[in-house]
Amino acid sequence: MGQSTLKGVPRAGKSPVAELAPLHHNLDMTTPGCSEGRDSRSLWRDPNSSATSRVHAQKGSRAAAGPLVRRYEGAARGRGVAAAGWRVCLAHRFEEPRQPYGAGDVPFHDVLRHIGLALRYFRWWYKKTRIEKKSAFIDLLCAVPLQQIYGCPLGGIGGGTITRGWRGEFCRWQLNPGIYHYETVIANQFTVCLRCKGQTVYQQVLSVERPSTLQGWNWGYCGHYAFYHALYPRAWMVYELPGQNVVLTCRQVSPVIPHDYKDSSLPVGVFIWEVENGKDEDVDVSIMFSLQNGTGTKEDRSGGHWNEPFAFEKDGERVAGVLLHHCTRVNPFTLAISAREKAGTGVTHLTAFNPTGSGREVWQDLLQDGRLDSPAGKSSLTEKGEVTAAAVCASCRVPARGHRTLELALAWDMPRVYFGSKEKLHLRRYTRFFGSGGDAAPALSHHALTHYEEWERKIEAWQNFPLAHSQLPSWYKSALFNELYFVTDGGTIWVELPPDCHAEDLQGPAGAGLSHLLPVLREYGRFAYLEGQEYRMYNTYDVHFYASFALVMLWPKLQISLQYDIAVTVVNEDVQPRQYLMCGQTAQVKLKNVVPHDIGDPGDEPWQRVNAYLMHDTADWKDLNLKFVLQVYRDYYLTRDSLYLRDMWPVCQAVMESELKFDMDNDGLIENGGFADQTYDAWVVNGASAYCGGLWLAAVCVMCKMAEVLGDAEIQQKYTDILSKGKEAFERMLWNGKYYNYDSSGSDTSSSIMSDQCAGQWFLGACGLDQGEFEVFPKSHVVSALKTIFEKNVMSFAGGTMGAVNGMRPDGVPDTSSVQSNEVWIGVVYALAATMIQEGLVEEGFRTAEGCYRTVWERLGMAFQTPEAYREKKVYRSLAYMRPLSIWSMQLALERRASRAPAPVQSPQVPIHP
Ligand SMILES: CC(C)CCC[C@@H](C)[C@H]1CC[C@H]2[C@@H]3CC=C4C[C@@H](O[C@@H]5O[C@H](CO)[C@@H](O)[C@H](O)[C@H]5O)CC[C@]4(C)[C@H]3CC[C@]12C
C-alpha cells in the first residue's frame, strides 16, 4: 500500500480525536533541575584532582516535545533521531505508584469464592519452591516489583535479550531461555572523554547514577541535559555535554527485521555514537564501553571466568575488543564488547579490571591520553568470590564544527542451551550461520558492525509506511513499533531442529501426518515466546491468538512453524494425572484432539511436556480449539500457503469434532460450562456466551471457507448447516437489541457488556470474511455492539482515558462479579480498536487504544513491560505480557481499509508495506 488515504483515520491536528487534550498530564509543580548534586554534576570534575572548571549548558528552545520531556533543559536535538517514538528526559520521574495485584486486592466475595484455590495454590507453591527448590511458573506470592526504568532490549529474536533502561542502564537479562532476572549492573557503562590540544578537558560516565562502587569514576551526569527516544528496534540517547559545546547521540540498533530469518536471530546490538563538535577547535573524542563478565547474578562470583582481547578481520574490515568468557556449568556463554577500526578511529582495550573496587586505574588510564592501555594476552581466571570486567575504547578526532561517528557493539554467544530440566540440548537458530562451538562472538561482532547500516535501511523502509503517514497519530506510531519489543523480550527462544531428527520423533506416538512439518521446522526452526515475563509458559495459545498478528504480518514463517508445533501436540496426549488448582479435581495433563493451553515451561522441558498451566483442565476450555482453526485460515489468507492449509485441515476437523460436544442441545451453538473455561480464566461463563459463542460461529464459518478452498463438499455442507442453526441461536439467545449479552445464564451479570464480545467478528474481518455470503453477525448488530462498548466500557470508565474495561454493567458501573471483569486488558483493547476500525468506527477505535497507550507508556511508567491488565486505580497484573502485540491487528485493519485487499506478507526482499 502506498500513501493512500486511510479512510476515517483522524488527521493529526485536525480530527476531534487528534484535538483531544493529551489524556494524561503528569503534574509537575517542581522547578526542573538536578537535585542537591546538581551543581557539582554540571561541573567537569576530575575525581582525582581538585581542579574544576565551571561550564554551563546552553539553554535554548526545547528540542523535544511530549509529556515526558518537560524536565529537559538542553537545546540539542541529536543527530538522526526518529520523529515518532517514545521520548523521555533522563531527569523524568513517574509519579504514580502502582502495585502488582495481590491477595489484599481481592474483594470479600472473591476471597470466599477462591479460598479453595488459594489453599491448593499455596500447597503447590510451597512444594515447588521450598521443597523442590524450583521457581513457580506463576509466582503469585513473590510478584516482580514495578520498576519504571525500562527501554529497548538488545538482541535479535530467540538468542536471549539484554534490556537497557531509558537512563542507559543494563538492567534486565534473559540469557537462559525464558528466565529473567532484573539487576542493574553498575560497571556496564559508556564513558566519554574529550581532549583538546592534548589535554583532557572532560571525562564523564554517561549515567545519572551515583553508585557505591567504582567511586573513582565521575558519576552523576545531569539528566536534564539528555533524553531517550525509542522506536523499537532502535533507540537514541542524546547527551548535551554541559559547557563543552559537544553533543553525543548514541543510536542503539538490534537486528529485528521483518521477513528476515537470518540476521534477525543474532544475539547482538550495535551502538553508533554520533559526535557533533560545536567548538571552533578540533576535539579528540573517546567513548569507553565497560562491561562486567556476567549478568549481575551470584554466578558472576562463582570463579573460573576470564577475559581476552580479540581482533577479527574479514573483507578488509577489522573489529577489535574483548571477549568475556563466562564459564558456568550449565549454559556457559561469551560476551564480546568491540569497536570498528577504520581510518581515523583507534580502538584500545583493558582486558580486566575489578568492577567492585574504586575503578581508579581504569579512570586514570583513560584520563591520561583518551586511550586504554591495551595489554596483550588473556586475563587469569577469577577466583571464587571475585568479579571481573573489561572495557573497550573507540577514539577519533572530530574537527571544529564537524561531526564523526564511532561504532561499538555488544554480542553474546550462548549457542547450546538447556532448559530447566536439563534433559535435551538445544542449538539456537543463529548457530546455523555462526556455528555452535562457543567461539562465534568475534564473528558476530564483526557481522554486526559491518551490517548494521543494511539493517537500518531495511528497518527504515519497513517503518516508513506508518511513520510517514501524516494521518496516523504519533502515539500510535510509537505503540505499533515499541510494543514489538515482546517478540524478542518475551523470553523468546528460537532453536534449530537437531539434524538427526525424524518426523516420527516430532509427531509423537500418534503420528500427526503433517507432510510439511519436517521441512518447515528444518528451514525455519522452532519458535517460542512466553505468555509473559511473569507468566512463564511458552506459546500460551489463547493469548497468542491476539498476539499472532505481529508474527504472521512480520515473520509469517515463525507463525507457521509455531502452528505446526501446536498441531503436533493436538494429536498427542499426556496421560499423567494431576490436580487442577481452581476446582481441585484430578485429570490427565493433555487429552487427544484438543489444543493445549501452552507448550510448556522453560523451567522444565517445553515442547516435550506441554500444558505447564495447572489452574484449570483446559481440555474443557471452549476457546482454544476455535482459536487454532481461526488462525489456520487467517494465516492461509495472509500467506496463501496452501501446503500449510492442507496439512492443518485434518487437525482443524479433529479439534472441531472435539468442540462439537460442547453443543449439548444441538442448536448449532456451543455452551460454556459454568466455570471460567476460556482466556478470561477467573470470569465464570454459563450457557451460550458472546465471547465463545462468537468465536465458535467464526470458526464454523472459516471451516466452511476452508472446505470450499480444499474442495471438501461434505464437510462444507456439514458446517454450513451448523452455521445457519448456530447463527439463529446466537441472535435469539444473546442479542438484546443493543449488544450481545455476556452469557445466556440469566444470572445477575448476564447482561454485562463485554468489551471482547465481537472477537469472532474481529477475526472474520481480518480474514475478509465479514461480508456478503460470509456475513455471520449482522452488520447493524456489530456496529451497535461496538458503539455500546465505546459509550459504556470506554467513555464511562475513567473518563474515557484508560481504554475499555472488560465488563461493564448496562448502568455504567464496572462489573465486579469477578477479579477479571473490572480489569482493562491492553491486548484486548488493541483488538477491540482493530474491530472498530474494521467496522468504520475509526475515531472510536483510536480513542479507545490511545487510552491504553497513554496509561501504560506515559502515566504508569510501564514502557517495554506492558502488562496484561490494570484496574482503574492502584493495581496492575502480569508485567511484560504477550497479548498487547495485538496492536498489529489495528495496522492490518488500517491497511485493509486503505486497500480493501489483504496485505502482502510474504515477500522476503520487500518490506511488508511497499
Ligand atoms: C483467599 C485469598 C485472600 C484470595 C485469593 C484470590 C486469588 C487466589 C485469585 C485472585 C486473582 C486470581 C488470579 C487472576 C489471574 C490469573 C491469571 C491466570 O493465568 C493466565 O491468565 C490469563 C488471563 O489474564 C489467561 O488468558 C491465560 O490463559 C492464563 O495462563 C492464572 C490464574 C490467575 C493467576 C488467578 C489465580 C487466582 C487469583 C490470584
Ligand 1: centre distance to CA 127 (Å) = 19
3-class SS at 605? coil
Ligand 1: centre distance to CA 803 (Å) = 21
CA angle 845–846–849, rounded 5-degree value: 85
Domain boundary among 633, 659, 685: 659
Ligand 1: centre distance to CA 614 (Å) = 11
Q: For ligand 1, say whether the CB of 815 is within 6 Å of any of its atoms.
A: no
Looking at the structure, tell me whether residues 316 and 372 fall in a common domain.
Answer: yes
Ligand 1, atom 15: closest residue by C-alpha: 682
793 DSSP assignment: I
SS (H, E, C) 43-110: EEECCCCCCEEECCCCCCCCCCCCCCCCCCCCCCCCCCCCCCCEEEECCCCCCCCCEECCHHHCCHHH
Pocket test for ligand 1, best of 111, 114, 581 (most atoms within 8 A of CB): 114
Based on C-alpha coordinates, what's the Rg of the chain?
A: 28
Q: For ligand 1, say whether the CB of 612 is within 6 Å of any of its atoms.
A: no
Say if 160 falls within a structural domain.
no
Contact 707, 716 (CB under 8 A): yes
Of 438, 526, 490, nearest to 177 by C-alpha is: 490
Looking at the structure, tell me whether residues 128 and 261 fall in a common domain.
Answer: no
Amino acid at 620: D
Say if 730 falls within a structural domain.
no
% of the chain with per-residue pLDDT over 90: 85
Contact 624, 542 (CB under 8 A): yes
Looking at the structure, tell me whether residues 441 and 548 fall in a common domain.
Answer: no
Which residue matches cell numbers 486505580? Answer: 873
CA atoms within 13 A on the CB side of 177: 36
Contact 207, 189 (CB under 8 A): yes
Ligand 1: centre distance to CA 583 (Å) = 13
H or E segment at 480? helix 474-482
Q: For ligand 1, say whether the CB of 831 is within 6 Å of any of its atoms.
A: no
Of 294, 324, 291, nearest to 307 by C-alpha is: 324
Say if 324 falls within a structural domain.
yes
Which residue matches cell numbers 528451514? Answer: 523
Ligand 1: centre distance to CA 122 (Å) = 13
Residue 819 scores a pLDDT above 90: yes
232 vs 93: CA distance, rounded Å:
22
Q: For ligand 1, say whether the CB of 463 is within 6 Å of any of its atoms.
A: no
Which residue matches cell numbers 571475585? Answer: 386
What domain range includes position 645?
497-659
Q: How confident is the model at residue 26 (pLDDT cuts 50, 70, 90)?
A: very low
Q: How confident is the model at residue 506 (pLDDT cuts 50, 70, 90)?
A: confident
> Mean per-residue pLDDT for 899-911?
48
Residue 505 has a pLDDT of: 79
Ligand 1: centre distance to CA 731 (Å) = 31
Q: For ligand 1, say whether the CB of 333 is within 6 Å of any of its atoms.
A: no
Say if 789 falls within a structural domain.
no
Ligand 1: centre distance to CA 149 (Å) = 26
More confident residue, 796 or 11: 796
Read off the pLDDT of residues 855-877 as tens digits, 9 standing for 90 and up. Answer: 999 999 999 999 999 999 999 99
Q: For ligand 1, say whether the CB of 615 is within 6 Å of any of its atoms.
A: yes
What are the phi and psi torsion angles at 246 (to 5°)? -130, 135
Read off the pLDDT of residues 725-777 as tens digits, 9 standing for 90 and up. Answer: 999 999 999 999 999 999 999 999 999 999 999 999 999 999 999 888 889 99
Measured over the CA atoms of residue 133, residue 528, residue 431 and residue 232, the dihedral's sign is: negative
Residue 2 scores a pLDDT above 70: no
565 vs 662: CA distance, rounded Å:
25
Amino acid at 897: R
Residue 511 has a pLDDT of: 66
Residue 898 has a pLDDT of: 86
Amino acid at 789: I
Pocket test for ligand 1, best of 615, 616, 623, 828 (most atoms within 8 A of CB): 615
Q: Which ligand 1 atom minimizes the distance to the CA of 682? A: 14
Lowest mean pLDDT among 36-45, 81-90, 461-470, 839-848: 36-45
Contact 281, 174 (CB under 8 A): no
> Mean per-residue pLDDT for 779-785?
98
Ligand 1: centre distance to CA 114 (Å) = 10
Ligand 1: centre distance to CA 684 (Å) = 12
Residue 772 has a pLDDT of: 83
> Mean per-residue pLDDT for 279-286?
98
Output the CA–CA distances (angstroms, integers) from residue 209 to 71, 570, 613, in the order listed: 17, 51, 40
Pocket test for ligand 1, best of 140, 616, 820 (most atoms within 8 A of CB): 140
Q: For ligand 1, say whether the CB of 681 is within 6 Å of any of its atoms.
A: yes
Ligand 1: centre distance to CA 682 (Å) = 6
Say if 790 falls within a structural domain.
no
Residue 901 scores a pLDDT above 70: no
Q: For ligand 1, say whether the CB of 682 is within 6 Å of any of its atoms.
A: yes
Q: Within a 10 A sphere around the Cβ of 378, how many other Cβ atoms? A: 14
Q: Which three cell numbers stand for residue 657?
A: 469434532
Residues near 14 by beta carbon (within 8 Å), at least 6 away in sequence: none
Q: For ligand 1, say whether the CB of 106 is within 6 Å of any of its atoms.
A: yes
Residue 102 has a pLDDT of: 85
Looking at the structure, tell me whether residues 82 and 108 fall in a common domain.
Answer: no
What are the phi and psi torsion angles at 275 (to 5°)? -110, 120
Of 69, 61, 410, 462, nearest to 250 by C-alpha is: 410
Ligand 1, atom 25: closest residue by C-alpha: 679
Residues near 836 by beta carbon (within 8 Å), at least 6 away in sequence: 786, 790, 842, 844, 845, 848
Read off the pLDDT of residues 464-475 as tens digits, 9 standing for 90 and up. Answer: 988 888 889 999
H or E segment at 299? none
Ligand 1: centre distance to CA 542 (Å) = 15
Residues near 534 by beta carbon (within 8 Å), at least 6 away in sequence: 138, 139, 143, 144, 878, 879, 880
Residue 807 has a pLDDT of: 98
CA atoms within 13 A on the CB side of 844: 23
Looking at the structure, tell me whether residues 451 and 532 fall in a common domain.
Answer: no
Looking at the structure, tell me whether residues 293 and 423 fall in a common domain.
Answer: yes
SS (H, E, C) 96-158: CCCEECCHHHCCHHHHHHHHHHHHHHHHHHHHHHHHCCCCCCECCCCCCCCCCCEEEEECCCC
More confident residue, 498 or 179: 179
Read off the pLDDT of residues 361-418 as tens digits, 9 standing for 90 and up. Answer: 999 999 999 999 999 999 999 999 999 999 999 999 999 999 999 999 999 999 999 9
Residue 107 has a pLDDT of: 82
Ligand 1, atom 26: closest residue by C-alpha: 679
Beta strands in 534-691 (DSSP E): 574-579, 586-590, 672-675, 685-687
690 vs 706: CA distance, rounded Å:
24
Q: Within a 10 A sphere around the Cβ of 281, how many other Cβ atoms? A: 11
Looking at the structure, tell me whether residues 237 and 128 fall in a common domain.
Answer: no
Ligand 1: centre distance to CA 867 (Å) = 14
pTM, two decimals, is 0.93
Residue 671 has a pLDDT of: 98
Looking at the structure, tell me whether residues 303 and 421 fall in a common domain.
Answer: yes
What are the phi and psi torsion angles at 807 (to 5°)? -135, 135
Output the CA–CA distances (angstroms, integers) from residue 666 to 218, 606, 671, 700, 720, in the order listed: 75, 37, 10, 14, 14
% of the chain with per-residue pLDDT over 70: 91
Q: How confident is the model at residue 849 (pLDDT cuts 50, 70, 90)?
A: very high
3-class SS at 340? strand
Residues near 108 by beta carbon (within 8 Å), at least 6 away in sequence: none
Helical H segments across 790-841, by residue range: 826-838
Q: Which residues pair with 194 in a beta bridge?
A: 202, 285
3-class SS at 230? strand
Which ipTM score applies to this complex?
A: 0.96
Ligand 1, atom 9: closest residue by C-alpha: 114
Read off the pLDDT of residues 87-116 as tens digits, 9 standing for 90 and up. Answer: 999 999 999 999 999 888 888 887 888 899
Q: For ligand 1, say whether the CB of 117 is within 6 Å of any of its atoms.
A: yes
Ligand 1: centre distance to CA 144 (Å) = 15
- Where b means 16+ CB within 10 Å and e means fewer, 202-230 reads bbbbbbbeeeeebeebbbbbbbbbbbbbb
Residue 500 has a pLDDT of: 82
Q: Which three cell numbers stand for residue 17?
A: 480525536
Looking at the structure, tell me whether residues 106 and 86 fall in a common domain.
Answer: no
Say if 449 falls within a structural domain.
yes
- CATH number for 37: 2.70.98
Q: Which ligand 1 atom minimizes the distance to the CA of 118? A: 8
What average pLDDT does the structure give for the chain? 91
Instruction: List the strands of the sheet with 306-314, edge to edge.
Output: 86-89, 226-231, 234-241, 246-253, 268-277, 403-413, 333-341, 317-326, 306-314
Ligand 1: centre distance to CA 543 (Å) = 14
Ligand 1: centre distance to CA 678 (Å) = 13
Residue 837 scores a pLDDT above 80: yes
Amino acid at 9: V
> Mean per-residue pLDDT for 828-832?
98
Looking at the structure, tell me whether residues 49 and 114 fall in a common domain.
Answer: no
Domain count of the fold of the chain: 3
Pocket test for ligand 1, best of 125, 543, 580, 681 (most atoms within 8 A of CB): 681
Domain boundary among 434, 460, 486: 460
Read off the pLDDT of residues 671-683 as tens digits, 9 standing for 90 and up. Answer: 999 999 999 999 9
Q: How are beta strands 875-877 and 99-100 bridged, if at all?
A: parallel
Residue 34 has a pLDDT of: 58
Q: Can you spell out the DSSP letters for 858-912? A: IIS--TT---SEE-SSSEEESSSBSGGGGHHHHHHHHHHHHHSSPPP---SSS-S
Ligand 1: centre distance to CA 140 (Å) = 8
Pocket test for ligand 1, best of 531, 819, 870 (most atoms within 8 A of CB): 819
Q: For ligand 1, say whether the CB of 540 is within 6 Å of any of its atoms.
A: yes
Lowest mean pLDDT among 137-146, 192-201, 777-786: 137-146
Residue 46 scores a pLDDT above 60: no
Say if 767 falls within a structural domain.
no
Ligand 1: centre distance to CA 374 (Å) = 54
586 vs 598: CA distance, rounded Å:
19
Q: How confident is the model at residue 911 (pLDDT cuts 50, 70, 90)?
A: very low
Q: How confident is the model at residue 134 (pLDDT cuts 50, 70, 90)?
A: very high
Looking at the structure, tell me whether residues 66 and 137 fall in a common domain.
Answer: no
Looking at the structure, tell me whether residues 135 and 209 fall in a common domain.
Answer: no
Residue 11 has a pLDDT of: 41
Read off the pLDDT of residues 308-334 as tens digits, 9 standing for 90 and up. Answer: 999 999 999 999 999 999 999 999 999
CA angle 166–171–177, rounded 5-degree value: 125
Of 696, 676, 694, nearest to 686 by C-alpha is: 676
Ligand 1: centre distance to CA 758 (Å) = 24
3-class SS at 284? strand
Domain boundary among 659, 692, 718: 659
Q: Which ligand 1 atom minimizes the distance to the CA of 869? A: 24
Q: Which ligand 1 atom minimizes the distance to the CA of 825? A: 24
Q: How are beta strands 189-196 and 283-292 bridged, if at all?
A: antiparallel
Say if 388 falls within a structural domain.
yes
Helical H segments across 640-689, by residue range: 642-660
Q: What distance, in Å, lies between the first and last C-alpha atoms of the chain?
A: 6
Contact 161, 489 (CB under 8 A): yes
Q: Which ligand 1 atom minimizes the distance to the CA of 597? A: 28
Q: For ligand 1, say whether the CB of 823 is within 6 Å of any of its atoms.
A: no
Q: Which ligand 1 atom minimizes the distance to the CA of 103? A: 3
More confident residue, 826 or 57: 826
